[in-house]
C-alpha cells in the first residue's frame, strides 16, 4: 500500500496525520492523568482534551491552526485518513465494552439482577421516552430525528437508561468491592443494561429514514430482522465456536499475539457485517465482544491485555475526537442540560432502588446499588456521538448528554462510598486469632485450597467443612475472586452461622484464582458471614484488600514463619495505617 501511498496521501497529508494523532493522544493522556490525580475517571480529561483542541477553544483562538491540524473539508485525504483511524478506534473500543459483559455470570446471579436491571432500565427509559415523544420541542432533535419522532424518543429513552460498565467497574475496584456480592450485583445488572441498550439502539438506527447510513437496501423490517438473526447467531453458534477456538488458540498459538489477533479479526468481521446491514459497525464489534467475553476459556489476563491495548491508545483518541467538531460553548443549552440531568438521575436511581428493594435487599445496600448504577460514563457518550452522527439529535442535546454522562460518573463513586460509610479503622489483627491462619497450604488448585481452608473454618465455627467449601466453591464458579497483587477473597453467606469468620491461608507457590494481573494468589482469605448480615462481608473484604495491596506488607507476610509472626505483621500494618 505504501508503494502507492505517495499517490493517495501526500507527504503533507502524512505530516498532518501524524501531528493530529500526536496532539490528540498527547493532550488527552495528560489531561486523563490529571483527572486520575483528582480521583476522577480518565475519560473526563480525554473529552476535555477534545474541547481544548476543537472549535470551543483552539478554533476560537486560531481557526487556521485548527484547520491545518484537523482538516475539515470533506474530500481531503488527511481528513479521510484521520476519520478512518477513528472509526477503527471506536470499533475496538466497543469490542472491549462487549468483552466485559459476561452472560453466564448474569444468568447465575438470578433474581436480584433481573429486578435491578429491569427496573433500572424501565423507569428512566419510560421517563425519557415520554418526554421526547410528548414534548419533542424541548429536547433538540436532529434533522433526521425530526423526521422520525419514534426513533428519536426511543433513543432519548435509551440514552438516559444506560449504565457504563467500564466506569462503574473501575469505581468498585477502587473501593475494593469489585469481588463482593454487592459489586457483582451492580456489575451484572449493568451488563444486562448495556446489552438491552445497544440492541435498542440498533433498532433505532434501523427505524431512521434511509439515507447515507444505510449500506443495505431494504425496508426497516428487513434490517431489524437481519440484525436480530445476526445477534441470535452470534450469541449461539458464534459463541459456541469462539468457546471451541479460544482454548486452542490460547494454548497453541503465541501468547498474547494469537489471542489478540483472533479477537481483533472476529470483531472487525462482525463490524463489517453490521455496517453492511445498515446499522453501525460498532454494534457488531460489541456483540463480538459479548460472544467472546462470555467464554470461561478467555482468561482474565488475556482480557486485561486487550483492554490495555485498546484503552491506552485507541480510546483516548476517540474521546478527544468528540470535541473536535462540536462547540461546547455555543451549543450549551442550560435547559436541555438541566432536563437531561434531572431525568437521568431521578429515573435511574429511583428505578434501581425500587428494583433492589423488590429483590429483598436492605435499605443501605439498595441505595448503594442505585447510586452505583447511575453512572453513565463512556457508553452514554459513545451513544450520543453516534446519534449525533446519524443526524438523530441536535448538537445541543449531544452536549447535554455528554455533560450528564460525565456528571453521573463523577457522582457514583463518592455517593456509594458515603452510603456504605465504610469503617476504615477495622483492624485485621483483631479479627483473626492464630488458629485463623494457615501458614502453609498444600493445595495447588482453587477447590483444593478452599477445601483446605474450609476444614479449619469448620473447626472454628462448628459448621460442616464440606458445606462451607461447597458454598465458597459455588460462589467461585460464578466469578473468580482473585485480586491483583497475589490475593484472593473466596466468600460465602451461610445459614446457621452465629458470627462472621475469616480464615487466611498462605501459599508460597501460589494458587491461580484467575486475577486480572495473572499473578497466582499467595494469601487466600476465606470470609464467612451469616445470611442475615449483609454489611460485614463488604467491610472485611475491603479491609483485607487494603492491608495487603501494599506489596511490602505482602512480602513481610510471606516471610513470617508462624501464625503468631504473621499476626505481628498485621498488627504493625494496622498501626502504620492509623498514622
Nearer to its own copies, 80 or 147 (CB): 80
* DSSP conformation class of 2: G
Nearer to its own copies, 79 or 348 (CB): 79
Shortest spacing between CB 512 and its own copies, in angstroms? 12
Residue listed under C-alpha cell 437508561: 161
147 close to 392: Cβ distance less than 8 angstroms: no
**Number of residues that this document lists for the chain:** 579
Nearer to its own copies, 120 or 377 (CB): 377
Nearer to its own copies, 517 or 531 (CB): 517
Shortest spacing between CB 510 and its own copies, in angstroms? 10
Shortest spacing between CB 350 and its own copies, in angstroms? 32
Name the β-bridge partners of 527.
491, 502
- Element (DSSP H or E) covering residue 492: strand 491-494
Shortest spacing between CB 522 and its own copies, in angstroms? 10
523 close to 488: Cβ distance less than 8 angstroms: yes
Planar angle of CA 116, 487, 182, nearest 5 degrees:
10
Nearer to its own copies, 36 or 421 (CB): 36
Count of other CB atoms within 10 angstroms of residue 440: 10
DSSP state string for 187-245? HHHHHHHHHHHHHHHHHHHHHSPPSTT--S-S-HHHHHHHHHHHHHHIIIIIHHHHHHH
Grid cell, residue 35, equals: 483527572
Nearer to its own copies, 126 or 247 (CB): 247
Shortest spacing between CB 167 and its own copies, in angstroms? 15
* DSSP conformation class of 324: G
Grid cell, residue 71, equals: 482538516
In terms of DSSP bridges, do strands 437-438 and 501-511 run parallel, antiparallel, or are they unpaired? Answer: parallel
Nearer to its own copies, 256 or 350 (CB): 256
Shortest spacing between CB 276 and its own copies, in angstroms? 5
Which residues does 224 contact at the CB level (< 8 Å), separation at least 6?
203, 206
Nearer to its own copies, 205 or 453 (CB): 205
The Cα 569–Cα 330 span in angstroms is 59
Shortest spacing between CB 285 and its own copies, in angstroms? 9
Shortest spacing between CB 219 and its own copies, in angstroms? 17
Amino acid at each position: 500500500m505504501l508503494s502507492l501511498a505517495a499517490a493517495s496521501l501526500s507527504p503533507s497529508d502524512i505530516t498532518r496525520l501524524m501531528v493530529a494523532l500526536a496532539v490528540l493522544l498527547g493532550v488527552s493522556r495528560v489531561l486523563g492523568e490529571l483527572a486520575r490525580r483528582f480521583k476522577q475517571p480518565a475519560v473526563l480529561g480525554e473529552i476535555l482534551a477534545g474541547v481544548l483542541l476543537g472549535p470551543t477553544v483552539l478554533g476560537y483562538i486560531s481557526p487556521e491552526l485548527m484547520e491545518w491540524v484537523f482538516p475539515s473539508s470533506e474530500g481531503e485525504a488527511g481528513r479521510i485518513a484521520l476519520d478512518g483511524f477513528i472509526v477503527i478506534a471506536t470499533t475496538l473500543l466497543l469490542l472491549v465494552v462487549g468483552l466485559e459483559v459476561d452472560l453466564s455470570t448474569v444468568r447465575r446471579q438470578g433474581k436480584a439482577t433481573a429486578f435491578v436491571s429491569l427496573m433500572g432500565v424501565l423507569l428512566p427509559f419510560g421517563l425519557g421516552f415520554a418526554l421526547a415523544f410528548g414534548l419533542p420541542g424541548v429536547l433538540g432533535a436532529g434533522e433526521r430525528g425530526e423526521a422520525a419522532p419514534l426513533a428519536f424518543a426511543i433513543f432519548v429513552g435509551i440514552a438516559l437508561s444506560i449504565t457504563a460498565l467500564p466506569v462503574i467497574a473501575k469505581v468498585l475496584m477502587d473501593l475494593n468491592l469489585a469481588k463482593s456480592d454487592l459489586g457483582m450485583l451492580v456489575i451484572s445488572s449493568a451488563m444486562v443494561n448495556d446489552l438491552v441498550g445497544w440492541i435498542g439502539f440498533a433498532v433505532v438506527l434501523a427505524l431512521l429514514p434511509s439515507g447515507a447510513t444505510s449500506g443495505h437496501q431494504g425496508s426497516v423490517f428487513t434490517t431489524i430482522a437481519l440484525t436480530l438473526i445476526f445477534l441470535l447467531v452470534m450469541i449461539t453458534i458464534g459463541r459456541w465456536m469462539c468457546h471451541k477456538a479460544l482454548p486452542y488458540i490460547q494454548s497453541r498459538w503465541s501468547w498474547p499475539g494469537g489471542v489478540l489477533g483472533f479477537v481483533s479479526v472476529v470483531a472487525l468481521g462482525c463490524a463489517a457485517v453490521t455496517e453492511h446491514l445498515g446499522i453501525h459497525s460498532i454494534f457488531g464489534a460489541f456483540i463480538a465482544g459479548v460472544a467472546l467475553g462470555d467464554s470461561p476459556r478467555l482468561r482474565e489476563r488475556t482480557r486485561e491485555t486487550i483492554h490495555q491495548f485498546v484503552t491506552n491508545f485507541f480510546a483516548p483518541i476517540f474521546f478527544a475526537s468528540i470535541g473536535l467538531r462540536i462547540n461546547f460553548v455555543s451549543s450549551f443549552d442550560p435547559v436541555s442540560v438541566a432536563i437531561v440531568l434531572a431525568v437521568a438521575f431521578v429515573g435511574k436511581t429511583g428505578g434501581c432502588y425500587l428494583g433492589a428493594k423488590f429483590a429483598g435487599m436492605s435499605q443501605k445496600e439498595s441505595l448503594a446499588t442505585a447510586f452505583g448504577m447511575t453512572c453513565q460514563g463512556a457508553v452514554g457518550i459513545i451513544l450520543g456521538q453516534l446519534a449525533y452522527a446519524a443526524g438523530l439529535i441536535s448538537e445541543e442535546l449531544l452536549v447535554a448528554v455528554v455533560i450528564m454522562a460525565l456528571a453521573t460518573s463523577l457522582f457514583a463513586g463518592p455517593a456509594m462510598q458515603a452510603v456504605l460509610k465504610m469503617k476504615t479503622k477495622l483492624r485485621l489483627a483483631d479479627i483473626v486469632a492464630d488458629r485463623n491462619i494457615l501458614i502453609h497450604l498444600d493445595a495447588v488448585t482453587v477447590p483444593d485450597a478452599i477445601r483446605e481452608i474450609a476444614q479449619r473454618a469448620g473447626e472454628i465455627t462448628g459448621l460442616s467443612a464440606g458445606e462451607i467449601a461447597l458454598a465458597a466453591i459455588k460462589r467461585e464458579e460464578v466469578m473468580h475472586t482473585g485480586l491483583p497483587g497475589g490475593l484472593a477473597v473466596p466468600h460465602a453467606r451461610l445459614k446457621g452461622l452465629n458470627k462472621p469468620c475469616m480464615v487466611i491461608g498462605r501459599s508460597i507457590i501460589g494458587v491461580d484464582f484467575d486475577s486480572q494481573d495473572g499473578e497466582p494468589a499467595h494469601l487466600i482469605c476465606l470470609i464467612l458471614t451469616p445470611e442475615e448480615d449483609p454489611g460485614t462481608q463488604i467491610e472485611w473484604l475491603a479491609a483485607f484488600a487494603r492491608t495487603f495491596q501494599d506489596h511490602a506488607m505482602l512480602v513481610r507476610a510471606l516471610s513470617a514463619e508462624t501464625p503468631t509472626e504473621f499476626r505481628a505483621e498485621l498488627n504493625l500494618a494496622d498501626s502504620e495505617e492509623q498514622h
